[in-house]
A and B are shown apart, each in its own frame.
Chain A
Amino acid sequence: MNIIRIITFAFGITHSIHAFPQDVSFYIQIEDPEIVPTSVTNESSDNVSFLAKTTELNELYSNYDISKFEIAFPTALTPSLINVYHVECDDKNLGIELSNRYKEKIPRLEFLEKPTPTYTPNDYSLESNQTNLDLTNAKEAWDYTLGLPIIDVAVSDTYFDLSHEDLSMTLVGGTNNPNIPTNVLPHGTAVAGLVGTITDNNIGLASVAFNSDLAVSTIRSDNEVLLLAQAGYRVINCSWMNSCIFSSTQEELYDEIKDVWGAIVVFGAGNASSQHCGNNNPSYPASYESNIAVTSVGHIKEIGTPGSPANNWKDVHEEIIGDSLSAHKHHQTMDICAPGYNVPTTDLMGSAGTSSGNYKGSWGTSFAAPQVSGALALILSINPCLSANEAVEILLMNADNSIYNIPENLQYIGRIGTGRLDVEASVAASVESATTYLEDMVISGNETIEDNYAIRIVNNVYIPSGSHISFRTRKGVTINSNFEVAAGAELTIDVNVNINCNCN
C-alpha cells in the first residue's frame, strides 16, 4: 500500500493537468432521440460531420471533433441497451457536458479508455501463433490488469498435467486419474491452458487470465460446481455437458450458484457432433439462464482467404465456409462466442498428449469457453466488488456484435450470442465500473472516497480548510483540472489498496 499525505497549512494547491488522451471513447445511454446527432458525409472530402436538431446542441457538438456517434448494440434486446450509443471523439468533456445538460434523459455514461502503449508478454505466440488472443484484444486488456490472483478461477474437467511447465494448478477436487482413453486424457490440460498459463515467463504461451492461479477438479458434476462456488471460486469453467433435457431442479441449482454464491459458471455449448443434442438445440447445464454458454468462431485467416480443407476465417462461425456442419452449436440461448477452431494451447508434457510436444491446436467449444472464463477473471480482478450478474453484463454487453455484419454469419444472427469475446472492451468497462469521477463539488469534513480501480478528479473539486479527506484506490488518483485543497485541509491518498466489498 502506498500512501501520499498532503497537508496544506499556508497555501492551497490547484492542479490543471490534462491527463486524458485525446482519443476518447464512451458509451452514453440517450433516452431522447432529439439529442442524438445525425451523421452527414461530405461527398467531396468524405469527411463526416454530426448535426443535431437544435442550435444549442449544434453549438455543443461543434466544439468537439467527433468521429463516431452510433448505436452501440443494434441487435440488443435488453431495454437499457437499446438506446446506448458508442461515441468516439477528441475530448471526454463531450460526454460529461451532455450528461450534465440532459441528466434526466441520459441515465448512463461510461468511458472506455484506450490503453497505450500495449504491453506484450515475452511468451506471446512463442510456441504457436496466438491469433485467438489477437482477435479478442487480450493484449490490450493487459494494459489495465494482469489478472491479480485475488480472483480464484476453477476448472472442472478430465485430467490435468499438474507438472506442466507453463501451468500453475492446484487439484482441489477428485483424483487425477490417468486411466481414461488417451485421446480424452489431454482435455483438461488443454482447457486450463486457455484460461491461464503462466504468462510472461518465456515459456510456451500467453493466455487471457495472465497470472490467475487455477484450481482444478476432476469431478464433472453439478454438485462439484456448487462445492467450488461455495469454496469461493468466482469463475468456474466447465467444458462438458451432461444433458439434453431441461430440468427445473438443475436450473434452480445453477441459479443458486450464481445468485447466492456469486460464482459465474462458463460452459462450452457443444460442437457439431450429433452427440451434443444436435447443432441447433440447447444443451445443459450450458443453456440455463444463469450460466454462460459459449460457441465458436474462427480466428486464423482473414475473411476471403482460400483454405483447404478448413477456412477458419476470423469471426466467422463456420470453420469450413458453406458447411453448416463444420460449425459448432448455434441456438437462441447462446450467450457469446470465442475462437474455437484450432486454438493453440497446452498439451500433456512430452509425447504423452495429442502432439509430440507440450503444446497443440485444439478444436471445440471446450476451448472457446476457457477464454471467456479468463476474460471474466480479468473483469473481476479490476473490480472484485462486481456481482456475478454485473460482471456477466459487462462481458456480454461488450462482446463485438459486428460479427453479425459478416455475410457468412447472417444465417446465425442471434444464435451465436451477443457477439465475439472482446477482452479489452470488457476490461475497459470493468475499469469504468470501478472508477469514481469527481466534478463540481466541495468535499468537506471527514470523508473517505474509495473505488477499486481509480479516482478521477474531472473538474472543479475543492477541499476546504479543516477537512480530513481520504482517497483510497488500487490504481491511483488522476487529476484533470481545477482541483484545490485549501490551506489547513488534510488529504490522504492510499493507492495499491484492496477495497473491501461484499462480493455476494
Chain B
Amino acid sequence: MKSQKTLLKRSLRYACFICFISFTILLSTYSQLILDAGKDTAFCVNLYPDTMYVGSSILIENGTPPFSFAWECKVPKGLYSFYTASDILNDTTIRSPYIIFGPTITDSIMFYLHLSDDSKDTISDSLLVRFSQCICPLGYTVISLNQGDSIWLDAGVPDGKYVKYYYEPSYGLSNPDSSATWCKPDTTTDYNIVTIDTFGCVCSCHSYKIQVTPVSTREMNENIEDSLHPYVIGSSVVFRNNVGKEALVSVFSTDGKQLHTISTYQDRIELSKFNLGKGIFIILISLDNKRDYCMYLNNKL
C-alpha cells in the first residue's frame, strides 16, 4: 500500500510539474509580441490623390509599450538604384505614415514593418500596397453632327484589368450605363469614357467632343456656307438676316417645283415646317442678288 501511495504521490508530483511547465510555456506564448500589418491594400490614384495611409489597420498584441516602428521598402529607380521608404513615406518611424511618392513610378510596393517593444522584443510583417493610377492620354476625337443627328459610341467589352466601361455625362445618351450607346446631344458636349477596374477604381478620361451644329436657326451673313441640315428641331426653320441686304428665300421640292418664295429685308425669316409638309425640301437663299446658298431640309413634322 505504502508503495502504491508513494507511487500516487510521485505521479501527482509529476503531474503538477508537467502542469507547471505547460503553464509556463503557455504564459510565455501569450506574452509573445504579435504583429499584423494589415491586409494587402489597393489605392485608387487620380490627378489629385487622396492621402494614402499605410498601416491604418495594424494589429499589435502583447508586447510592452511603448512600441517603435520602422517601415522599409525597396522600389527600383531605373536600372541602377532604389527608392527607399524615406523617399516614399512622410515618416518611416510612425505607426501609420502616408505615401508622398510612389504611384507615378510603380504599380505596387511591398512594405516591411519592423516593430519592437520596450522589452526589446522585435517582430516584422509585410504589407503589399497596389496603386491603380488613372493616367489619361491627352487626345480626343472630335465628331461634328447636325442637331438632331446621333452617333453610335462603342467602347468595346471590358476585359482583363477592367470590369466596366461607360460614358459621362449621361446627357444625350440612350443607354448611359452601357459601353455602347446612341449619342444625340442638342448642344456641343464633351464625353468622357469611364472605366472601372478590378480594384473598383474609377477613371474618367476625355474621349469625344461631339460638336453640334444647330439647324433650327441659321445665321445668314456674308460668310454663310452651304450646309446639309437633315433634321429640323422645333416648329419652324428660322433664318436670321443680319446683313441688312435683301434676302430671297425659295423653297423647292426634290422634283424641282418651287413651293414658296419670300423676298424681304427683314432680319428674321421664318418658315413653319407645318406649312411645308412632310418630306425633303431644297431651300435656296439669294443674298442681295449676289450669292446663293443652298440647304436641304428633311421635315419629319
The residues of A with any CB-CB pair to B shorter than 8 Å are 157-158, 177, 179-185, 187-188, 190-191, 220-223, 226-227, 229-230, 239-245, 247, 249-250, 253, 268-271, 273, 275-277, 283, 285, 306, 308-310, 342, 354, 361-367, 369
Indicate if the CB atoms of B101 and A250 lie closer than 8 Å.
Answer: yes
- A-B CB contact pairs (8 Å), 5 listed: A190-B139, A243-B47, A271-B206, A273-B206, A309-B144
Per a CB cutoff under 8 Å, which of B79, B87, B100, B133 touches A230?
B79
* Interface stretch (choices B36-44, B112-120, B151-159, B283-291): B151-159
Give chain B nearest CB distance to A56 CB in angstroms: 56
Indicate if the CB atoms of A245 and B48 lie closer than 8 Å.
Answer: yes
Chain A minimum-CB-distance residue to B207? A183
Indicate if the CB atoms of A179 and B162 lie closer than 8 Å.
Answer: yes
Chain B minimum-CB-distance residue to A180? B162
Indicate if the CB atoms of A181 and B165 lie closer than 8 Å.
Answer: yes
Also in contact, A184 and B137, with CB within 8 A (given A306-B225, A308-B225): yes
The residues of B with any CB-CB pair to A shorter than 8 Å are 47-49, 76-80, 87, 100-101, 103-107, 133, 135-142, 144, 153-156, 158-162, 165, 179, 188, 190, 192-193, 195, 204-209, 211, 213, 223, 225
Chain B minimum-CB-distance residue to A325? B190
Also in contact, A244 and B47, with CB within 8 A (given A181-B193, A239-B138): yes
> In the bound complex, what is the Cα–Cα distance between A446 and B144 (angstroms)?
69
Most A Cβ at <10 Å: residue of B101, B188, B207: B101
Also in contact, A364 and B138, with CB within 8 A (given A230-B80, A247-B101): yes
Q: Which residues of B contact A245 (CB under 8 A)?
A: 47-49
Give chain B nearest CB distance to A48 CB in angstroms: 36
Q: Which 7 A-B pairs have the closest CB atoms?
A: A364-B139, A366-B139, A306-B223, A268-B138, A273-B206, A366-B138, A226-B78
> In the bound complex, what is the Cα–Cα distance between A241 and B103 (angstroms)?
13
Indicate if the CB atoms of A179 and B160 lie closer than 8 Å.
Answer: yes
Give chain A nearest CB distance to B285 CB in angstroms: 16
Q: Which residues of A contact B133 (CB under 8 A)?
A: 242
> In the bound complex, what is the Cα–Cα distance between A285 and B135 (angstroms)?
12
Also in contact, A239 and B139, with CB within 8 A (given A183-B193, A249-B100): yes
> In the bound complex, what is the Cα–Cα distance between A220 and B165 (angstroms)?
21
> In the bound complex, what is the Cα–Cα distance between A105 and B112 (angstroms)?
62
> In the bound complex, what is the Cα–Cα distance between A250 and B99 (angstroms)?
13
> In the bound complex, what is the Cα–Cα distance between A222 and B159 (angstroms)?
26
Q: Knowing that A223-B78, A242-B104, A271-B139 are A-B contacts, what are 10 other residue pairs whose CB atoms are under 8 Å apart, sorted by A's residue number?
A: A179-B160, A190-B139, A221-B105, A223-B77, A247-B101, A271-B138, A273-B192, A275-B47, A361-B142, A369-B138
Give chain A nearest CB distance to B92 CB in angstroms: 15
Chain B minimum-CB-distance residue to A328? B138
Q: Which residues of A contact B104 (CB under 8 A)?
A: 221-222, 242-243, 247, 250, 285
Q: Which residues of A contact B137 (CB under 8 A)?
A: 157-158, 184, 187-188, 239-240, 364, 366
